[in-house]
Amino acid sequence: MSVPPAGKQAFVRELLGRSDYAIIGDIVEPGTKVLDLGCGEGELLEWLAQNKGVKARGVEISGAKVQRAIARGVSVYQGDIDQGLADYPDHAFDYVILSQTLQETHRPRKVLGEMLRVGRRAIVAFPNFGHWRVRLSMLVSGGAPRTKLFPYEWYESPNIHFLTVYDFENLAALERLVVERRYFLSGHRKVTLLPNLLAEVAVFLVSAAG
Amino acid sequence: MIVEANTVRFDSISLDSGATLAPVDVAYETYGRLNASKSNAILVLHAFSGDAHAAGISHEKGKPGWWDNMIGPGKAFDTNKYFMICSNVLGGCRGTTGPASVNPATGCPYAMSFPVITIGDMVRVQRMLMDWFGIPRLLSVTGGSMGGMQALEWAVSYPDRVVSAIPIACTTRHSAQQIAFNEVGRQAIMADPDWNEGNYYGGKPPARGLAVARMVGHITFMSDDSMREKFGRRLRGKETFGFDFDVDFEVESYLRYRGSEFVNRFDANSYLYITKAMDYFDLTNGHGSLAAAFERTEARFLVISFSSDWLYPSYQSQEIVSALRARNCDVAYVELESNYGHDAFLVDVAEQTDLIRGFLASTVEKAA
């Protein structure tokens, strides 16, 4: 499997309009097996299949999104993430992706553990609750923070487990996970300094120790 | 698209019961063209009361096929791309050998001397038909209800002969509830004195029993919602109750119509044999577990269920999907929202069309 020309990748990134997708596209090695949890309409999986020759599978709770994913030729299963993971044998995938969903799961630690049972590596992307705008919003308003990345009223928010870059690093250490790569983003820009303060989105590539 | 039924005769077949049936006629229709590499063939498997006439307008009766809205140029199963084959099942009464066929040994219809058949036997006959066509691998096997059960059987029994499978609104084995409804149908037929231990050919068929069996069937094909929408408590051609036992309600009229219409096109003994085959069907037979049954399966799967289908509920489709995932097979699954109950696989065309079109296109791409 040859790596596609960089120009096309950049174009698709713009098309997808999600900076974390672009990073994930860079991380995933060609010809691997990938499971995307909460894959939506399968845009990322379709792109990975066409450009990286991966075997792409997805889990998505919304029937309407699953329909569109299957219609575009991606093998997606309608179900919740917990159920989706339980069926698979150990190390069925090279990568298990969880993009902007960890903060919505009821038991994030369990999900992370299952991801690393089913996959050799996990790619976790999440909005950073430690970003300065979030801190400022709360400081100034005194209410639950609302920003571009956290646009919901507290009573409508799907986010139930808020976490920061710092929190994820601590959890990784607690679970003895190996952080192989970490990316910090603000819009489409990479953040190099003070990620916990300046990153809007963090992407971690982790694997189990040993 | 005017289509004609064809029949091919095979010398004999050994059945799961140990019996041998000879000869076996198989009625089939085809739509589209088989390509030079014979890689574009899709086998369509009909449900309990279906037949080989899946699409087009029949040459004989001028009627559209049972899945005509899904099969044809530009449709979900695009006959400009794919070569579609549909045959009547073994034990049927629409051209393929069944209990109404003449036993060459006696010169009389088999009736109840016809051997009990299984879904596995039906699929074995279909495999003989594919050999006869010279088709080494089917691009897909697909069908709803009993058709989906046959598609599963294909994937398990002949894993090297199927590239993909699309089982719709079906199960790996009948539940007690499904067996129960089939048994009510069988008992209704056998309780009709005209059934006469199955020996009614040339005489009066057990029309009342068969009609009642079909009425029960039609209730299970619909949903509470779809029946409320379609009939409610509306009266049939009257303003007040008749205070007798003629038809009062629309729903009664509908069921009676469906029952009597069915009698004209279906053989009561076929009803007994085919429902028995469905009840015996259990994909785990001889394998221990569902995951073990799929051990040699390399096909891609698209599994579809319908939210209001209480005859083949979604949990049964999810069992298929769970087992396939345990085998790390390539499987897509969706439960489509529908009010039509089990009938949805015949009625809800638009949503299935997008799914099937995309799934088949990606299957062709991956197979290339």
pLDDT digits (tens, 9 = 90+) for A149-170: 888 999 999 899 999 999 999 9
> Is residue A83 pLDDT above 80, yes or no?
no
Q: Could you please state the CATH topology (level 3) that the domain comprising B2-175+281-367 is classified under.
A: Rossmann fold (3.40.50)
Question: What is the C-alpha separation between A12 and A10, in angstroms, rounded?
Answer: 5
Question: Which residues of chain B does A89 touch, with a Cβ-Cβ cutoff of 8 Å?
Answer: 326, 328
> Is residue A15 pLDDT above 80, yes or no?
no
Cα of B72 to nearest chain A Cα, Å: 19
**For residues A18-40, average pLDDT:** 91
Q: Above pLDDT 90, what percent of chain B? A: 96
- Say whether residue A117 is in contact with chain B using an 8 A CB cutoff: no
pLDDT in tens, B140-152: 999 999 999 999 9
Nearest to B330 among A67, A71, A75 (CB): A75
Q: DSSP string covering B267-328, please?
A: -HHHHHHHHHHHHH-BTTTTTSSHHHHTTT---EEEEEEETT-SSS-HHHHHHHHHHHHHTT
Answer yes or no: are the C-beta atoms of B218 and B235 closer than 8 Å.
no
Tokens of A36: 């995307």
Domains by residue range for chain A, with CATH: 6-128+160-208 (3.40.50.150)
For A4-118, where are the E strands, in sequence order? Answer: 33-37, 55-60, 75-78, 93-99
Q: Give residues 21 to 60 of B whose Cβ lies within 8 Å of A.
A: none
* Residue whose entry in the numeric block shows the structure tokens 């409804």: B181
User: How far apart are the two ends of chain A, measured CA to CA in Å?
Assistant: 29
Question: What is the C-alpha separation between A175 and A167, in angstroms, rounded?
Answer: 12
Question: What is the C-alpha separation between B168 and A108, in angstroms, rounded?
Answer: 34
Q: pLDDT averaged over chain B?
A: 96
Q: Residue B215: what residue type?
A: M
Q: Give the chain A residue nearest B336 (alpha carbons).
A: A63
> Is residue B235 pLDDT above 70, yes or no?
yes
User: Taking the CB of residue B104, how many other CB atoms lie within 10 A of it?
Assistant: 8
pLDDT in tens, B35-63: 999 999 999 999 999 999 999 998 888 89
CATH of domain B178-275: 1.10.1740.110
User: How far apart are the two ends of chain B, measured CA to CA in Å?
Assistant: 30
SS3 B360: helix
Tokens of A78: 């309608």
Answer yes or no: are the C-beta atoms of B44 and B87 closer than 8 Å.
no
Residues written for chain B = 368
The pLDDT value recorded for residue A2 is 41
**For residues B245-258, average pLDDT:** 96
> Is residue B263 pLDDT above 80, yes or no?
yes
**For residues A28-57, average pLDDT:** 95
- Say whether residue A77 is in contact with chain B using an 8 A CB cutoff: yes
Tokens of A100: 């902007």
Cα of A55 to nearest chain B Cα, Å: 9
Q: Above pLDDT 90, what percent of chain A? A: 74
The pLDDT value recorded for residue A22 is 84
Q: Above pLDDT 70, what percent of chain B? A: 100
> Is residue B115 pLDDT above 80, yes or no?
yes
Contacts of B368 (CB under 8 A, 6+ apart): none
Q: DSSP string covering B199-216, please?
A: --TTS---HHHHHHHHHH
> Is residue B81 pLDDT above 70, yes or no?
yes
Q: Residue A24: what residue type?
A: I
Domain boundaries, chain B: 2-175+281-367, 178-275
The pLDDT value recorded for residue A16 is 59
The pLDDT value recorded for residue A4 is 46
Question: Cβ separation of B359 and A70 shorter than 8 Å?
Answer: yes
Tell me, rounded to whole angstroms, the distance of Cα A179 from its chain centroid.
15
The pLDDT value recorded for residue A20 is 82
- Among B202, B190, B195, B228, smallest CA distance to B107 is for B202
> Is residue A12 pLDDT above 60, yes or no?
no
Nearest to B328 among A67, A71, A92 (CB): A92
Q: Looking at the predicted complex, does its ipTM rise above 0.95?
A: no
**Active-site residue numbers of B?**
145, 309, 342
Say what the pTM is.
0.93
Cα of B277 to nearest chain A Cα, Å: 30
